[in-house]
Amino acid sequence: MMEADVLIIGAGLMGASAALHLSMRGYRCVVIDKASPGRHASGANAGGLRQLNRDPAEIPLAMESARMWHQIRDLVDSDCDARFPGQLRIAENAADMDKLEQRAALVRSLGYQHEEIIGKKELYQMVPALAPHCVGALVCRQDGFARPYHTLTAFRLKAESLGARFYADTEAYQMVQDGEGWQVRTSSGTFNSTFLINCAGAWAGKMAAMLGEPVPLQPKALMLMVTERLPHFVDPVMGAASRKLSFKQMQNGTLIIGGALVAKLDFEREKTDINWEQLMESADTVLHFFPQLKNVRIVRAWAGIEGFMPDNIPVISASGMNKNLYHAFGFSAHGFQLSPVIGRILSELIIDGRTPLPIEPFRIDRFNSAI
């Protein structure tokens, strides 16, 4: 039998972040994963650090996380290769601009300043390589990107240096409340802990159901493409007001292209298949904004398995049913930027019983009327 103060299911970004923050406050953590750390969404995502265009419920969390990102080296002894050239949502016409201006107004009315409208002149100063027909954009200047697997590794190594233990190839079969604590039977033996956290990504719904509080989590696989290396020609991360686009040039010169591109997924077999129709559409969109990229080669297309909630915001919450159980999952393809603050929130919930950040909208029982 193995003992810990906190047992964390899922060695992705959320699990590693939780392990770090709890370890920083002296709690012994064990993180288990049925595969290897970052095997799925946490290792396969586009690395975007985005506050721009979030659901208003997420904004306070994203802003706090952004502050942490800008000092990430202090937290995990690594800069995770983070860069902050800003992120844009590009408008191609007046209707797009209207849409963006409405969004900017909404964000201002909620008391936030991080999303600004810029006009044609500034847009082309920021992105001179852009096709000439665009009219403006919504920008968050502090946004950027980092390298997800490096980030996860940095969180894990720091947590391990503070005493956390990570067990790969360890699947949880049964989780039983043992008095006030938990007993978890896994493929690597039985663990006893006081607290249990469900950070199992696309499998968190399965875990939640096993724990008696099912949620409508839907696993989906989103695709990305990466190109050959190119000389540096674009700075900010790009999205579009009315097209599916997520486009950035990485530190090494490769382009990462995505934007809600859905692959075929056989969840039981954990098998993803590239949906070429979607990639064709995506390539067409990229060339619409950057026609000079037509001869650029795609070196690889892949898909990562992620968990999605019907309202597109995550579950971050104490259990509605069991004591000493907490959940953080369902990040719906935009969790990377939040990962530093999520771990801190979980540590605050466990140790202090509360967190200063507003997590009411992320309660696990918000779906109960729907089930």
Residues found near other proteins in the complex (CB under 8 A): 36-38, 43, 129, 149-150, 153, 156-157, 160, 166, 168, 226-231, 233, 252-253, 271, 273-274, 276-277, 279-284, 286-287, 290, 292-302
- Rounded CA-CA distance 152/158 in Å is 10
Please identify, using beta-carbon distances, which residue of 51 and 170 lies nearer to other proteins.
170
- Rounded CA-CA distance 244/277 in Å is 13
Please identify, using beta-carbon distances, which residue of 279 and 350 lies nearer to other proteins.
279
8 Å CB contact between 312 and 330:
no
For residue 137, the minimal CB distance to other proteins (Å) is 21
- Classified as helix, coil or strand, 58 is helix
How many CB atoms neighbour CB 132 within 10 A? 6
Query: What CA dihedral angle connects 97, 332, 54 and 158, to 10 degrees?
Result: -130
For residue 154, the minimal CB distance to other proteins (Å) is 10
Please identify, using beta-carbon distances, which residue of 142 and 151 lies nearer to other proteins.
151
Please identify, using beta-carbon distances, which residue of 302 and 367 lies nearer to other proteins.
302
For residue 159, the minimal CB distance to other proteins (Å) is 11
- Rounded CA-CA distance 114/145 in Å is 16
Please identify, using beta-carbon distances, which residue of 72 and 303 lies nearer to other proteins.
303
For residue 346, the minimal CB distance to other proteins (Å) is 22
- Cα within 13 Å of Cα(366), Cβ side: 17
Task: Provide the token pair at 52.
Answer: 């721009």
Please identify, using beta-carbon distances, which residue of 267 and 302 lies nearer to other proteins.
302
Q: How far, in Å, are 30, 273, 324, 327 from residue 179 at the CA level?
A: 20, 45, 11, 20
Q: Dump the DSSP string for 248-283.
A: EE-TTS-EEEESSPBPEEETTTTEEE--HHHHHHHH
8 Å CB contact between 63 and 51:
yes
For residue 149, the minimal CB distance to other proteins (Å) is 4
Please identify, using beta-carbon distances, which residue of 264 and 354 lies nearer to other proteins.
264
Helix 13-24 / helix 148-161 crossing angle, nearest 10 deg: 30
For residue 185, the minimal CB distance to other proteins (Å) is 23
For residue 196, the minimal CB distance to other proteins (Å) is 23
